[in-house]
Amino acid sequence: MTLLTDDPVAAMRDRHREAAAGLPYTRVSGHRIGGVETTATSPVTSPVVDPATGEEWGSVPEADEAVVDAAVAAARAAQPQWAARAPSERADLLRRMADAVERRADVLSITNTLENGSPVSETAGAAANAASILRVFASLASHLEAGDVRAFPTGGAETVVAQDPIGVAALIAPWNFPINLVVIKLAPALVAGCAVVIKPAGPTPLSIRFLLDAADEAGIPPGVINLITGEGATGELLVRHPGIDKVAFTGSTPVGRRIAAACGELLRPVTLELGGKSTALVLPDADLDAMSKVLIRSSMRNTGQTCYISTRLVTTPDRYDELVDMVTATVAAAPVGDPLDPSTVFGPVATFAQRDRVLGYIRAGVAEGARATVGGDVPEPIPGGAFVAPTVFADVTPDMTIAREEIFGPVITLLRADSIDAAVDIANDTPFGLGGIVFGGDEDAAFRIARRMDTGSVGVNMFASNHYAPFGGRHDSGLGVEYGLEGLAAYLTPQSVHRRVR
């Protein structure tokens, strides 16, 4: 395991304190409602803790019922005029917002890194990715202006199908990608003509403010985008608020189930992007050297805190030992260190509670007989922070806890399968269905195997999100999709107007 942080831990702390001191948002005292910074009505605040050092460097207020009421009221007041604008006009404002987001790339990246420990090599791309999503959905606005007239099958009449904005949407985001997992909800909502109330995750409430600054600069009207902060109780108030017409949530499956239950009770549309336990199938003709170059991105991206990554690698016995050697060497060579260092691959996990959770899974793997070829139940690589040694487990069987449950940390498991058919069975033997990869030399054959995987998205020799194509999970990985025209449709409600043909 390579450590980039050769300096004393105190030196890293000094660098992080200096970085935080230069940020515009640290100790925030209010919420962003109706285009203005409002005064918090509750004295309760939540700390923002740097997971690399364990130091508190910021804080935000907890939204109570009065704040949630005010945010929803502001959105409802702004939504009719926003919906009345032509889709092309809304799209132009999204393009301006995209430009404004990109101008904030550096400060957004540093804030994000200090919030959740994602290395700057990851967060440096957040603004560009967010801008791309905004521009893609802006390009889809023309679909809202095209006429849709459908003839009656019996003749003599026709139906004009119109698409109206669904109303006011609650957007609730997780802490692993706090910018992009808001924007994949915000962009389609805005293009559709919805107003929104955003609630970021508790650990990552500050970087999201740069999105609102960019929206203000672009000229998006006050009240169309509102921001409140708080923990789970705030989210529950928002989900159940009578002024909310649609909920979009990314996060854990247990929380998603509770939100789904509430929305079912209220007959409220909901999009849920939840957990995953995805599999990479390594076929006998796979190029392991090429695979090694995309392994971290595909299976341990963002220190393993990515919902769709393929943390289970399955291959046949003839390639198993070679695969173990490649994965072990690749992970061992990836630097662990200060997330503000551009060369760092693995930073801390996002919170100390998450560190303890991941360590619990590692200990379970050891106890159940898996073999750690690198990492394992060892002391943290850098003391004082929420660091976990990146871990590769070999000799894993499908029934082990680490092979079945989402760990959400820097842990890979390697499993044997007697045949390709058995490997596909292992990949599909999970309650989740979010991502997956097939590595193989014959890409046509790999594609055919990919189509047999029971999951929402699959890559062939790679994995990436296409902003024009739907992304969503099956089974316990969620309901509905994001991205593409399908993601835009989640913020629209159709109306059919029937008329006689003269």
Task: Report which of 390, 435, 409 is spatially closest to residue 281, judged by C-alpha positions.
Answer: 435
Confidence of residue 346 (pLDDT cuts 50, 70, 90): very high
- Please check whether residues 417 and 301 belong to one and the same domain: yes
Query: What is the pLDDT at residue 311?
Result: 98
Query: What is the pLDDT at residue 10?
Result: 87
In a domain, 4, yes or no: no
**How much is the average pLDDT of 191-213?**
97
Instruction: For tokens 């007697």, name the residue.
Output: 418
Confidence of residue 6 (pLDDT cuts 50, 70, 90): low
For the stretch 427-446, pLDDT in tens is 999 999 999 999 999 999 99
Mean pLDDT of the chain: 96
For the stretch 254-309, pLDDT in tens is 999 999 999 999 999 999 999 999 999 999 999 999 999 999 999 999 999 999 99
- Please check whether residues 156 and 264 belong to one and the same domain: yes
Write the CATH number for 447: 3.40.309.10
- Please check whether residues 255 and 328 belong to one and the same domain: no
Task: Report which of 225, 161, 211, 165 is spatially closest to residue 191, judged by C-alpha positions.
Answer: 165
**What six digits make up the tokens of 337?**
């260190």
| Amino acid in position 239 | V
Confidence of residue 151 (pLDDT cuts 50, 70, 90): very high
Query: What is the pLDDT at residue 4?
Result: 53
- Please check whether residues 360 and 301 belong to one and the same domain: yes
Judged against a pLDDT cut of 70, whether residue 236 lies above it is answered with yes
Confidence of residue 3 (pLDDT cuts 50, 70, 90): low
Q: Is 437 helix (H, G, I), strand (E, B) or coil?
A: strand
**Residues of the chain above pLDDT 90, percent:** 95
- Please check whether residues 341 and 205 belong to one and the same domain: no
Judged against a pLDDT cut of 80, whether residue 395 lies above it is answered with yes
In a domain, 390, yes or no: yes
- Please check whether residues 214 and 326 belong to one and the same domain: no
Q: Structural domain of residue 436, as residue ranges? A: 278-466
Alpha carbon distances (Å) from 410 to 44, 126, 305, 348, 442: 33, 21, 7, 10, 30
Confidence of residue 7 (pLDDT cuts 50, 70, 90): low
Query: What is the pLDDT at residue 502?
Result: 81
In a domain, 321, yes or no: yes
In a domain, 69, yes or no: yes
Confidence of residue 145 (pLDDT cuts 50, 70, 90): confident
- Please check whether residues 310 and 422 belong to one and the same domain: yes
CA 472 from centroid of its chain's CA atoms: 11
b vs e for 152-182, b when ≥16 Cβ sit within 10 Å of the residue's Cβ?
eeeeeeeeeeebebbbbbbbbbbbbbbbbbb
Q: 21 burial class (0-12, 13-18, 19+ CB within 10 angstroms)?
A: exposed
Q: Which of 115, 122, 273, 482 is catalytic?
A: 273
- Please check whether residues 150 and 106 belong to one and the same domain: yes
Judged against a pLDDT cut of 60, whether residue 338 lies above it is answered with yes
In a domain, 500, yes or no: no
Query: What is the pLDDT at residue 2?
Result: 52
In a domain, 1, yes or no: no
Write the CATH number for 221: 3.40.605.10
Catalytic status, residue 273: yes
Backbone angles phi, psi at 471, to 5 degrees: -130, 120
Q: Tell me the chain's radius of gyration from C-alpha atoms.
A: 23
Whole-model pTM: value is 0.95
In a domain, 131, yes or no: yes
Backbone angles phi, psi at 472, to 5 degrees: -170, 165
- Please check whether residues 35 and 174 belong to one and the same domain: yes
Q: Which of 62, 115, 122, 307 is catalytic?
A: 307
Query: What is the pLDDT at residue 40?
Result: 79
Judged against a pLDDT cut of 70, whether residue 8 lies above it is answered with no
In a domain, 501, yes or no: no
- Please check whether residues 286 and 186 belong to one and the same domain: no
Query: What is the pLDDT at residue 65?
Result: 95
- Please check whether residues 239 and 282 belong to one and the same domain: no
Number of domains in the chain: 2
- Please check whether residues 72 and 197 belong to one and the same domain: yes
